[in-house]
């Protein structure tokens, strides 16, 4: 491995050194940033600093002063998280820059490895092109040593490509594992949560008590509000009394109307009963009329039969009279 590294070209060595330097810088930055966040958290836990409300780190003092200023106007609507983030960006911008560098170092090392890869491939392809261009001469083909030397120089370019990629990928894996084990982002969020808890649970309670005390000092305003409420209540009572009287009058009027309507309904019901009785009488009359008509029909039928018998009798009498007259005529002629 050492022989391969010593046989590399100067640009390849520079790329490998840059990858190793970025890896070391990222590791050291991770440890230093995490240590700084840890110290800020310890400073916030110090009971003497909490009682005196004075800390060693300016980011804590500035966050405390900004919170007090915002809580004086309205303690119930203070954006604690925004205050903490503003002060961290103001006093620890270098830590934010270090976090961004640690996050980007993995990509930078991989890019440098790819750069070495393309550089090695370029060298290898250039040597192959030179070898193929010189292979037309018979001297190169006849000399085996020259042929092997050209092939070795071409393979050296390929070794540069693979070694730089190997260093870049290995370094990125190491930094990724370190970031998983020692997470800077988790340390920063833990410190911010502790600061927010301190401001909301300690400082906010003091201003809540002060605001309640100022509420007692404003007793005159409360009395005025009570008197105003009483007057409003009296006015509303008068309005509702008048409205109640009007509703009672309307209700009595509606009651009278309902009684009149009920009497009309009763009269209409009686009219319906009378009509029903009359209809029943008319039905009986219709039934009797039909019976009488049937009887008259039977009587007319009997009369017709009697008339038919009488007609037959008259016809027989007529024939008898006719025969008698003929006999008389015959007798008269004989005489």
Q: Residue 108 falls within a domain, yes or no?
A: yes
Give the pLDDT score at 335: 56
Distance between terminal CA atoms of the chain?
A: 193
Give the pLDDT score at 26: 93
**Cα 295 from Cα 282, distance rounded (Å):** 20
Tokens at 122, concatenated: 């370029």
**Cα 30 from Cα 103, distance rounded (Å):** 10
Give the pLDDT score at 175: 92
Reference 19, options 7, 5, 40; nearest CA is 5
Tokens at 104, concatenated: 């980007």
Q: How far is CA 19 from the centre of its chain?
A: 48
Which residue is it, tokens 């040593």? 145
| Residue 57 per-residue DSSP state | S
Q: Residue 129 falls within a domain, yes or no?
A: yes
The values of phi and psi at residue 285, to 5°, are -60, -40
pLDDT digits 0-9 by tens, 180-201: 898 888 888 899 998 888 888 8
Query: How far apart, in Å, are the Cα atoms of 240 and each of 140, 233, 248, 311?
Result: 120, 10, 12, 103
Residue-range definition of the domain harbouring residue 107 = 2-217
pLDDT digits 0-9 by tens, 285-305: 566 667 767 777 776 677 667
**Cα 166 from Cα 12, distance rounded (Å):** 12
Q: pTM score, two decimals?
A: 0.55
Which residue is it, tokens 């490509």? 161
Report, as ranges of residue numbers, the positions in the chain whose pLDDT lies below 50.
138, 213-220
Q: Residue 223 falls within a domain, yes or no?
A: no
Q: Dihedral sign for Cα 137, 139, 143, 147, please.
A: negative
Q: Residue 126 falls within a domain, yes or no?
A: yes
Q: Residue 91 falls within a domain, yes or no?
A: yes
Q: Residue 190 falls within a domain, yes or no?
A: yes
| Residue 76 per-residue DSSP state | T
Express the helix, strand and coil content of the chain in percent, nearest 5 each: 95, 0, 5
Number of domains observed in the structure of the chain: 1
HEC per residue, 123-142: HHHHHHHHHHHHCCCHHHHH
Q: Residue 74 falls within a domain, yes or no?
A: yes
Q: Residue 125 falls within a domain, yes or no?
A: yes
Q: On the CB side of 152, how many CA atoms lie within 13 Å of its CA?
A: 9
């Amino acid at each position: 491995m050492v022989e391969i590294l010593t046989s590399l070209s100067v640009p390849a060595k520079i790329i490998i050194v840059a990858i190793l330097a970025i890896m070391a810088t990222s590791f050291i930055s991770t440890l230093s940033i995490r240590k700084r966040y840890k110290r800020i958290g310890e400073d916030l836990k110090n009971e003497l600093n909490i009682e005196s409300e004075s800390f060693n780190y300016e980011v804590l003092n500035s966050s405390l002063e900004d919170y007090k200023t915002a809580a004086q106007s309205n303690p119930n609507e203070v954006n604690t998280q925004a205050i903490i983030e503003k002060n961290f960006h103001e006093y620890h911008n270098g830590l934010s820059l270090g976090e961004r560098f640690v996050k980007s170092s993995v990509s930078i090392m991989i890019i440098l490895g790819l750069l070495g890869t393309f550089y090695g491939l370029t060298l290898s392809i250039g040597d192959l092109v030179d070898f193929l261009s010189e292979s037309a001469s018979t001297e190169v083909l006849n000399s085996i040593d020259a042929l092997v030397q050209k092939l070795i120089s071409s393979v050296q370019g390929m070794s540069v490509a693979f070694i730089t990629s190997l260093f870049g990928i290995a370094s990125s894996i190491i930094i990724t594992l370190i970031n998983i084990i020692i997470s800077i982002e988790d340390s920063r969020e833990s410190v911010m949560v502790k600061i927010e808890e301190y401001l909301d649970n300690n400082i906010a309670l003091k201003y809540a008590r002060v605001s309640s005390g100022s509420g007692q000092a404003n007793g005159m305003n409360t009395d005025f509000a009570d008197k105003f409420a009483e007057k409003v209540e009296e006015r509303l009572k008068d309005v509702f009394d008048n409205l109640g009287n009007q509703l009672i009058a309307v209700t009595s009027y509606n009651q009278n109307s309902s009684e009149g309507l009920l009497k009309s309904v009763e009269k209409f019901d009686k009219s319906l009963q009378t009509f029903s009785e009359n209809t029943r009488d008319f039905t009986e009359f219709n039934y009797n009329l039909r019976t009488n008509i049937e009887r008259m029909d039977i009587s007319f039928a009997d009369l017709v039969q009697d008339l038919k018998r009488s007609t037959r009798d008259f016809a027989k009498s007529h024939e008898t009279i006719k025969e008698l007259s003929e006999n008389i005529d015959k007798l008269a002629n004989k005489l």
